Structure 1
Amino acid sequence: MSDLRAAALEWLAQDPDPDTRAELRAILDNDDREGLSARFGGRLEFGTAGLRGELGAGPNRMNRVTVMRAAAGLAKCLPRGGRVVVGFDARHGSQRFAHDTAAVLAGAGLRPQVFTHPIPTPVLAHFTRVFDDVVAGVMVTASHNPPRDNGYKVYWSDGAQIIPPTDAEISAAIDTIDRVDTLPLGSGWPTLDTTDLYLDAVASLDLGPPDPDLSIVYTPLHGVGRDTLISVFERAGFGAPIVVPEQADPDPDFPTVAFPNPEEPGALDLALGLAEARGADLVIANDPDADRCAVAVPHAGGWRVLTGDEVGGLLAEHILDHTTGSDRLVATTIVSSSLLRSIAAAHGVRHTETLTGFKWIMKAARPSDRLVFGYEEALGYSVGDDRGVLVNDKDGITAALTVATLAAHARRNGHTLLDLLDDQAHKYGLHTTTQLSIRATDPAQITTTMSRLRTKPPTRLGGRTVEEFDDLADGINGLPPTDGLRFRLSRRARVIIRPSGTEPKLKCYLETITPVHDDVTTTRAHAATDLNALRTDVAAMLSGAPPRSG
């Protein structure tokens, strides 16, 4: 404990933030050993997603010292004189962290340029890509994490998130930084006060005409997407969406939702209620930094929220119907639905699967490929036209516009998005997916469970035989090794299990594929029963219990 106290005192001496100094002083004065250990017993690791964690004092929290050390490490890996674009969302501390980053970068001989106002993450990714002299981008955001969190994402000059070995090189450089109060700091950097380059690029996507009469309810979930999305829709020829008033303004406390994630139960309740009251045609939601997009449609007197895989399949077909060329590539992750493979084959284009995360999707193209669409089941989509994808990361604004364009196209032909889903089921088989997450109070539980499943994998799940078992840590089909397990089951089913990269939990991805011989509604009911049986057995397997469904 004396070592932790010494580390805390050293931290106090260099911390420029009066709030975290007061927090740490109180912990020391109260001899709060648990609080001290939580903050100084470890540190936030810099990886391919940058940094993300709870706000507070110490190396295991997001704070000004952590951010300044990260910026100094990043600066060591960049060419002197290069331009770095810095953006931030509306979370607690984001703007301060952005300006601390700029000060450190400027002091290290780089040329930071900081947005004057909160922006969506895809705007930062786009600006990083379009300027020849930009060597990196930094986005201060924790995306859809709880209000107490913040984070720090790094983009390279291609506008994509960093991947190994760049992340390890930056992490090693961060480790060489001593005290931040000795770092040279710059001032007076230029700013960016407009996002017109991004707005014009999105509005110019050539994927079909708009429908100004399409009625859309939209929620930014207290995030930063509203103004950007409304501007894009109006420039593209759509009417302005109806914004959920309680969630319209940026608010770092996210007061109307338990978790500011459109995938979470209840997160879309206000939007769905407003859509029902207004008789809307479509509901669209972004997460707080607007890099993800959720969709809901009218169904059987109520509303149905589409899964990320369903939206991914619909967008893929629409984009391939509106683009040309044998060099086109569509990409997704190994945990997303296998439907994309069938769609690509039907359109005569190449398809590939990557590890989880958009950083890998954006590296999937060969020199001869033109990536026109990439997606992951967690509501992330990168949309393009014949020019290729617009943003080299997931982009909830561009995805929202493309969903509206697709809905307009279906409406002109007397169809709905649900009709299009039924059409795909008839053509490719009904691909039904779901997820299961098991949160751990102790991260060691995750390691223990993964080790147990590697040593003794199941032979049956959901009444199906496990026909193949792949340990993704060995690297398969040319993919880099990763901590994950894949089970291929009889009658075209699949289960993948992996630890979350941002939270202490195991994530499971389940898929069944059912041929549609006649009525798709009946097939959906049977598929739901099969998927629930599979989900029940996977949950039992993770708890150490035997399968329950035969």
Structure 2
Amino acid sequence: MNVTNLYELWTTKAKEDKDLVNELKDIKGDAEGIFDRFYRELEFGTGGLRGVIGAGSNRMNIYTVRKATQGLANYLKGKDRASVAIAYDSRIKSELFAKNAAAVLAANGIKVYIYPELMPTPALSFAVRHLGCDAGICVTASHNPAKYNGYKVYGSDGCQITLEMAGRVLEEINKVDAFEDVRVLELEAGIGNGLIEYIKQDVVDAFIGAVKSQSLNPVKSNLNVVYTPLNGAGRMCVLRILKEIGVHNITVVPEQEAPDGNFPTCPYPNPEKKEALELGLKLCKKVNGDILLATDPDCDRVGIAVKNRDGEYQLLTGNEVGVLLLDYIAQIRTSNHTMPKNPIAVKTIVTTDMASEVAKEYGIEIINTLTGFKFIGEQIGLLEAKKEEERYLFGFEESYGYLSGGYVRDKDAVDASMLIIEMASYYLEKGITLVDKLNELYDCCGYYQNHLLDFAFEGARGMDEMEAIMKNLRENPPVNIGENKVIGVSDYKTSIKTIDGKKETILLPKSNVLEFNLDDKSKVIIRPSGTEPKIKIYLSTCKDSMKEAENRLEDLEKDVKILLGK
């Protein structure tokens, strides 16, 4: 069916959501607008769906959600008494999409457990395991702008689905016609016959209890905390866990406290971005806060700003916080005599190599995975299968995701918020700030610096351009980047690593990622984003001083932009 016919079909069939009806009317005669909405189906990738909210096969709406859910239901039908847990965040139409997913699953005879209110993504991972479900769905677009929503699918282990499961679910989705093949049961009917059940408070209590079990030190200092949930799902769980560990001096940013999927004060609600933290930083100065915590809309990432000795607030990167937490956890567990034998920490390939230097000090093995926290969760599962899960100490990724226990299999900003505040309190008792401690680690390990560049590619042409860039780099890898020689190329799509002309096999799943190692120990990693229409470029270096490292990154950024023609 061509784009025009598909558009006409939707104008006839898509009648249940007035917003979609109006949008379809508004784009009548707009060839470009129609094409962008219908030129393809919204891609169901390894994490599920993510896209702009709106009408069409290439948008997030009740029909694309229902189609994906029918495919998941078809995949699960072979299981006896299959069940699925569902959660959702504060984004536009999240609750609507979650309830539509529940209605489709129930119509297919699958038991549904759904949270009665918005909850953090890690609470979904927890519920899947706690309730013994076969799968989970979390309706969220994480830290994307307000126009986006998404649909993450989890396996029975609480991890986002494996490549194999994603492929099998996609096969089923591709067999489904969004209007003719989807079964839907009224929500109230599903509740009435017991196929849909709201998740009870005892599950939330168990989740908070599991987080609290990761606490390492009682909070003694009167730390002055400012917190913002960025109008997302974190408020209830984060405030509860902080109070339970003894933190009572907490001020919440009022403009960003209530759930609001429009994110009126921060159009890009990403705690990695300073712009999203501006109101929190302003409040910190007003109340003389010691630390600012900011969780993203689905509360699986957390960013921080810390008051330094000059009274200024310094934003710490995901790499810096991850290294601080790894050192803190290892330090306290060593002193408490709770460090496991042969401890393991897990990080992604784009996360700072400084973690390896910290790990050496404590005899911790570092495992590197592909980008995506599900690969860290997978490592926890492999340890659990060998009955060695106690060896897992900590996992983190540069994009502000952290996890210190195996009670969930996804990054958890509730856990991370607790540990960050506990860590800040611990060092405050010793008369130092987190910035002071970070500088100690730099002096010891070397001045590792990392920087992320990303370039957006919107629409159908953008996707083609992204593919062309990756294809050209793969087929014609650079000999030099700037004045530095490329001494190693790792192609994670072909699983081949070439160092000084010698080939090695990369023992990780295939992924569309290229890594270039330079002769000054700097590194460039390039990959298309799995969640946004962007190419992401990770730059890293290590020098003998911060100034040298910062200068090298500036030069490397210029060189990479020239390489990509940007």
Measured against the shorter chain, the TM-score band is: over 0.9
Structure 1 residue 27, shift from structure 2 partner: 4.8
- Give SS of 2:106's match: helix
Q: 2:224 aligns with which of 215, 229, 240?
A: 215
Mapped partners of 1:279, 1:346: distance in 2: 35
Question: Out of 320, 337, 344, which is 2:359 matched to?
Answer: 344
How many angstroms apart in 1 are the aligned matches of 2:540 and 2:44?
32
Shift of 1:459: 3.2
How far 1:208 moved relative to its partner? 1.2
Q: Which amino acid aligns with 2:155?
A: W
Cα distance between partner residues in 2 of 1:288 and 1:294: 12
Query: Identity of paired residues, percent?
Result: 36
Cα deviation code 1:320-365 (max 9, x no counterpart): 2224112421111111101122222221122111111011111124
Segment of structure 1 superposing worse, 14-23 or 496-505: 14-23
Task: Tell me by how many angstroms 1:181 deviates.
Answer: 5.6
AA aligned to 2:138 is M
Question: How many pairs were matched up?
Answer: 530
Q: How does 1:209-288 map to 2 (within 5 A)?
A: 209-211=218-220, 213-288=222-297
Structure 1 residues 373, 72: CA separation in 2 closer, same or farther (over 3 Å shift)? Answer: same
* AA matched with 1:238: V
Q: Secondary structure at the match of 1:473?
A: coil
2:396 equivalent to 1:375: yes
SS for the counterpart of 2:275 is: coil
Q: Given that residues 217 and 242 in structure 1 are in contact (C-alpha distance below 8 angstroms), is that contact kept between their aligned partners in structure 2?
A: yes
Partner of 1:11: 10
2:379 maps to which residue? 364
Q: Aligned ranges for residues 486-525 of structure 1 at < 5 Å?
A: 486-515=515-544, 523-525=545-547
Gapped regions of structure 1 (runs ≥ 5) = 516-522, 545-550
CA distance in 2, matches of 1:533, 1:486: 18
**Distance in 2 between the 1:422 and 1:212 partners?**
22
Q: Is the 8 A contact 2:222 2:249 kept in 1?
A: no
Q: Residue 363 of structure 1 aligns to a residue in which SS?
A: helix
**Does the residue aligned with 2:86 lie in a helix, a strand or coil?**
strand
Partner of 1:519 in structure 2?
Answer: none
Q: Which residue does the alignment assign to 1:535?
A: 557
Q: Once the 2 structures are TM-superposed, how far is the Cα of residue 372 of structure 1 from its aligned partner? A: 2.1
Distance 2:129 2:228 in 1: 28
3-state DSSP of counterpart to 2:379: coil
Three-state SS of the structure 2 residue aligned to 1:190 is strand
Cα deviation, 1:504-523, whole Å, max 9, x if unaligned, reads 221111111124xxxxxxx2
Is 2:139 the counterpart of 1:140?
A: yes
Residue pair 1:122, 1:391 contacting (<8 A) in 2 also = yes
Task: Summarize the alignment of residues 82-231 of structure 1 with structure 2, pairs less than 5 Å apart.
Answer: 82-131=82-131, 133-180=132-179, 183-186=182-185, 187-188=190-191, 189-194=196-201, 195-211=204-220, 213-231=222-240
Deviation at 1:465, TM superposition (A): 2.7
Q: How has the CA–CA distance of structure 1 residues 488 and 359 changed in structure 2, closer, same or farther, with 3 Å as cutoff?
A: same
Q: 2:182 and 2:536 mapped to 1: Cα distance?
A: 40
**Runs (5+) with no aligned partner, structure 2:** 496-504
How many angstroms apart in 2 are the aligned matches of 1:80 and 1:92?
34
What does residue 298 of structure 1 align with?
A: 307
- Counterparts of 1:458 and 1:248, CA distance in 2: 48
Report the alpha carbon displacement of residue 130 of structure 1 after superposing the two structures with TM.
1.9
Match of 2:326 in 1: 316
User: Structure 1-normalised TM-score?
Assistant: 0.92
Secondary structure in structure 2 of the residue aligned to 1:372: strand
The separation in 2 between residues aligned to 1:285 and 1:44, in whole angstroms, is 30
> Residue 40 of structure 2 aligns with which residue?
42
> Aligned partners of 2:343, 2:127: CA distance in 1, in Å?
24
Indicate the SS of the match to 1:197.
helix
Q: Could you tell me which amino acid in structure 2 is paired with residue 206 of structure 1?
A: S
- Is 2:431 the counterpart of 1:410? no
CA distance in 2 between partners of 1:459 and 1:253 (Å)? 46
* Equivalent position SS for 2:2: helix
Paired amino acid for 2:55: A
The CA RMSD over aligned residues, in Å, is 1.9
